[in-house]
Amino acid sequence: MGERLIELKNIAKSYGRVFAVGGVDFHVDRGEVVGLLGDNGAGKSTLIKMLAGAIHPTSGEILVRGKRETHWNAERSRNAGIETVFQDRALCVQQTITRNIFLGRELTRTLGFLDRKRERAEAERLMRDIGFTSKVFTPDSIVGQLSGGERQGVALARAIYNNADLIVMDEPTTALSLTETEKVFRFVRAVRGGGRSVLFIGHNIHHVFDIAERFVVMDRGRVALRATKEEVGSAERLIAYMERLAHPQGIEIPPSPGRQPEAAA
Amino acid sequence: MSASFETTEARAKPVERPPASAVRRFFDVNRAAVGTLVVFVVMIAIFMAASPSVFLHWPIYDSVLVGLPVALCLVVPLVFVVTVGEIDLSFPATMGFSAWIFALVVHAGLSPFLGIVAALATGMMLGAGVGALVVTAGLSSLIATLGMNYMLRGFILIVTQGKSIALLELQDTTAGALFSSEIYGFPVQVFWALAFVVFAGLLFNRHRFGVRVRAVGDNPDSASQMGINVARVRISTFVFMGLGAALAGVLSTMVNFTWWPTTGDGYLLPAIASVFVGGTPTWGGVGTVAGGAIGALTVSFIQSGIVAAGLSGFYVQFFNGLIIILALLGHRWNQKRYR
C-alpha cells in the first residue's frame, strides 16, 4: 500500500463525561478505499467530522502525510487535500449549483472578485462528469429544486473539483434510489482508479463490502475490528461479526475457510 | 443489480423544458428587485393621479433627493446584515455617534477629511463591537442591538447634555463643496450615495464576501463545514453596517451644517421598511441591494408624498407600518423559500 496519507493517533472526543470517540488510531493510505462501519452511535460520524475539521478533538493527534497538524479546522482539512461529503451534504439550498460547488473556495480574479465565467463553465463540466445529463438543470439552478440524488451529485461534484487526495463519504447512499446508488459506486471506483483514496461510511454492509478493500468497524467509540477484504471473506461474515458485536450472546459466525479476522482492542 | 424497476424518485424527474433565455434569466434572478420597481411605479402613478399639482412638479422630487442619500447609506448595508441572518437596530445611534466624532474633529479646527476618516473608523469599530456581542457572546441580535442603540444614544445625550454642534465653518471648505453642493440642480450627495450603492451591489453580487454572506445566511452549518469562517463573515456585516451608518451620519451633518444629539433617530423604521419593501426576505440567505435601494426610494416618496398630498404627518407612521406588512405579504407570495 502507498504512502500514509492521513493518520489519527489516539484521537478522542468527549461531550462532558460522555465519550463519542474514545482514543482511536486510524489511518488512510494513498490509493485505497476504506470502509468504516458501525452501529448508530458508534462514533463514525464524530470521527470523520474530526477528520474534516468540523469538530475539534478533545485529545489526540492528526498527522497529514506524516506531519503533525496543529490548529486543525475545516479550511485546513480542505487545503490538506481532504474533501468530505457530509451526511447532510452541507449544501446551501437557496443558492445555485455553481455557488454550492464553489462554496468556501470561490474562483476569484483580482481583489476577491469572482471569476463567474470560469466558475460556471467548471460547474457545467463537473455536472456532466457526475452524470447530470438532463438539460433541465443548469449551473444556475437553485439546489432547493433538486431531488435528493441530484443534491448528492452536487456534493460529489464539489468533492472532486479540487483533485483531493482523500474523499470522505458519510453514508452517501442513504435515501438514494438504486440507479443513484450505482452512480455513487461508479464515482468511488473512478476516484480509486485515479490513484486517490476514499473513506466510505455506510450502514448497508453489502454496499460497503462491495466497494472497500479494508474495513474498520467501530463500536461504542472504539475500534472493534480492522480487517482486509480477504480476511473478512464475505459480506455475510462481516454482517455476522457486527451482529455478534450488537448481541454478544446471540448469533454464531459461520465457519470460514480463510484467516480469522484480527480483532483489535 | 436489476434494472427492471424504477424508483419513484427516478420517475418523478420534471419534464424537459427549453433552456431559459437571457431575458427570462434576468427576471428570475432579479425577481424581487423587479417586483419592487413595479410597486414603486404604481405608487408614483397613484400619487400623480391623486395630487397632480404636487407630483407633476420638481420640488417634491428635490425634497426626496435631499433625504434619500442618507437612507441609501443605511439601507444597503442593512441588506447584508439581514441576508446573513441577523438584524441590526443599533445603526441610528451608531450614525449619531460617528457624526458626533466628525463634528468634534471639525469643531476643533481640524480638516473635515480627517473628520470623515475618524467618523468612518468610529462607525466600523462600533459595528465590530455590536457584532462581537451578537456573534462572539452569542446574544440575540434583535435584543442586543436594540440595547446598544439606547445605550449609545443615552451616552451621547449624557455627555453633550443634549446640546447640538453648529459647523458653519464647513460652508466654504473643499469638503463642503464635495459633499454638500448641487450639480445641475441635483444634490451632490445623491451621486455619492449612488456610488456607494454600486459598490455595495458589486460586493454583494460579484465578490467573494457577498457570496459568503449569502452562504452563511442560507446554512451556517454547511458554510462552516466547507471551511468558511462563519463568525468572521457575520461580524463583517455588522462592521459594514457601522461604516454605512457613519457615512449616513457625515452626509446628514454636512447637509445641515449642524450635528444634533438626535442625529439618526427616526431612520430606524424607514430603513428597516426599505430593506423588506425592497424584497430581501426575513429568513436569510438571499437578498437584493438594488431592491433595497428602490425600497429606500419608495419609502422616501411615501414619507414626502403623504405630507405633500396634504395629509398630516400622523399618516406617515401609519403608512410606514402598513407598507412593511404589505411588503412582507407581497414577497411571501412572490418568492419561494427552498429548504
pLDDT digits (tens, 9 = 90+) for B243-267: 999 999 999 999 889 999 999 998 9
Q: Do B223 and A103 touch (CB under 8 A)?
A: yes
pLDDT category, A56, cuts 50, 70, 90? Answer: very high
Grid cell listed for B233: 463573515
pLDDT at B302: 85
Helix (H, G, I), strand (E, B) or coil at A15: strand
- The one-letter amino acid code at B284 reads G
Is residue A127's pLDDT more than 50? yes
pLDDT-derived band at A255 (thresholds 50, 70, 90) equals low
Phi, psi of B35 (to 5 degrees): -60, -45
Question: Which listed CATH number (3.40.50.11540, 3.40.50.300, 3.40.50.150, 3.30.70.640) goes with A1-81+165-265?
Answer: 3.40.50.300
Distance CA A82, CA A227 (A): 23
Q: Kindly tell me if the per-residue pLDDT of B326 is higher than 50.
A: yes
Among B28, B225, B337, the strongest candidate for a mutation testing the A interface, having the largest count of A CBs within 10 A, is: B225
* B218 grid coordinates: 442560507
If contacts are CB pairs under 8 Å, which of residues 200-259 in chain B contact chain A? 202, 206-209, 211-212, 214-215, 218-219, 221-229
Closest CA to B215 of A228, A45, A104: A104
Cell of A241: 461479526
From chain B, the residues in CB contact with A178 under 8 A are 1, 7
Q: How many Cβ atoms are within 10 Å of A14's Cβ, its own excluded? A: 14
CB-CB contact of B273 with B320 (8 Å): yes
**Which pLDDT band holds residue B172 (cuts at 50, 70, 90)?**
confident
pLDDT at B57: 86
Taking only the tens place, the pLDDT of each residue in B141-167 is 999 999 999 999 999 999 999 999 999
Give the residue extent of every domain in chain A: 1-81+165-265, 85-163
Closest-approach residue (CA) in chain A for B13: A147
Q: How many CB atoms lie within 10 A of CB A159?
A: 25
Instruction: Supply the pLDDT for residue B264.
Output: 93
Mean of all residue pLDDT scores within chain B: 88
Residue A168, all three cell numbers = 470522505
Pair B337, B283: CB distance under 8 Å: yes
Q: How far apart are CA A64 and CA A80, in angstroms?
A: 7
pLDDT value at B241 more than 80: yes
Dihedral sign, Cα of residue A102, residue A103, residue A109, residue A113: positive
Provide mean pLDDT across the span A95-120.
94
Give pTM, 2 decimals: 0.89
Q: Is B260 exposed, middle or buried (0-12, 13-18, 19+ CB in 10 A)?
A: buried
Amino acid at A155: A
- Chain A contact for B21 (CB, 8 A cutoff): no
pLDDT at A9: 94
Helices first, then strands: H and E counts in chain B: 16, 4
Top-tier CATH class for B32-46+58-334: mainly alpha
Determine the pLDDT at residue B102.
97
The C-alpha atoms of residue A224 and residue A260 are separated, in whole angstroms, by 14
Identify the closest residue of chain B to A87 by CA–CA distance: B222
Nearby residues of B36 by Cβ (< 8 Å), 6 or more positions away? B277, B278, B279, B288, B291, B294, B295, B298
Query: Across-strand partners of A14?
Result: A19
Q: What is the CA radius of gyration of chain A?
A: 19
Cβ atoms < 10 Å from Cβ of B250 = 31
Per cent of chain B over pLDDT 90 is 60
Question: Do the chains contact at A112 and B207, CB–CB below 8 Å?
Answer: yes
b/e sequence A29-56, b meaning 16+ C-beta within 10 Å:
bbbbbbbbbbeeebbbbbbbbbbbbbbe
Residue with more model confidence, A165 or B305: A165
- Alpha helices, DSSP H only, in A97-166? 97-101, 116-130, 148-161
Give me the count of residues in chain B: 339
From A74, A99, A112, residue closest to B224, measured CB to CB: A74
Pick from B12, B208, B285: CB nearest A108: B208
Chain B: closest CA distance from residue A84 (Å):
9
Taking the CA of residue B100 and the nearest CA in chain A, the distance in Å comes to 33
Q: What pLDDT score does B11 carry?
A: 45
| Helices first, then strands: H and E counts in chain A | 9, 10
A233 neighbors A226 (Cβ within 8 angstroms):
no
3-state secondary structure B211-279: HHHHHHHHCHHHHHHCCCCHHHHHHHHHHHHHHHHHHHHHHHHHHHCEECCCCCCCCHHHHHHHHHHCC
Question: Which amino acid belongs to residue B72?
Answer: L
The answer to whether A188 and A33 are in contact (CB under 8 A) is: yes
**According to the model, what pLDDT value does residue A124 have?**
92
Calculate what percentage of chain A has a pLDDT beyond 90: 55
Average pLDDT over residues B202-223: 97
Instruction: Examine the pLDDT at A1 and tell me if it is beyond 60.
Output: no
The predicted structure's pLDDT at residue A262 = 57
Average pLDDT of the segment spanning A191-209: 90
Chain B, residues 259-288, CB within 8 A of chain A, namely: 285-286
CB-nearest to B339 from A93, A112, A134 is A93
ipTM above 0.90, yes or no: no
A189 pLDDT more than 80 = yes
Across A72-99, average pLDDT: 94
A49's CB contacts (< 8 A; 6+ apart) are: A55
Joined together, the cell numbers standing for residue A264 give 483489535
Q: Is the pLDDT of residue A90 over 90?
A: yes
Average pLDDT over residues B169-174: 82
Identity of the residue numbered A196: R
Nearest-Cα residue of chain B relative to residue A134: B16
Q: How far is A56 from chain B (nearest CA, A)?
A: 12
The answer on pLDDT for B205 being more than 80 is yes
- Please say whether the beta carbons of B283 and B299 come within 8 A: no
Torsion of CA A131, A134, A140, A146, to 10 degrees: -80
> Confidence class of residue B321 from pLDDT cuts 50, 70 and 90?
confident
Q: Best mutation site among A92, A105, A116 for testing chain B: the one with the most B CBs within 10 Å?
A: A92
Average pLDDT over residues B283-289: 93
pLDDT of A26 > 90? The answer is yes
CB atoms within 10 A of CB A234: 13
- Percentage of chain A beyond pLDDT 70 is 91
B217/chain A closest Cα distance in angstroms: 9
Element housing A209 (H / E): helix A205-211
Q: Please, are residues B65 and B187 in contact by the beta-carbon 8 Å criterion?
A: yes
Decide: A32 and A213 in contact? Cβ < 8 Å.
yes
Q: How confident is the model at residue A216 (pLDDT cuts 50, 70, 90)?
A: very high
Give the pLDDT mean for B75-88. 97
Q: Does A94 touch chain B (CB under 8 A)?
A: yes
Minimum distance, in Å, between the CA of residue B229 and any CA atom of chain A:
8
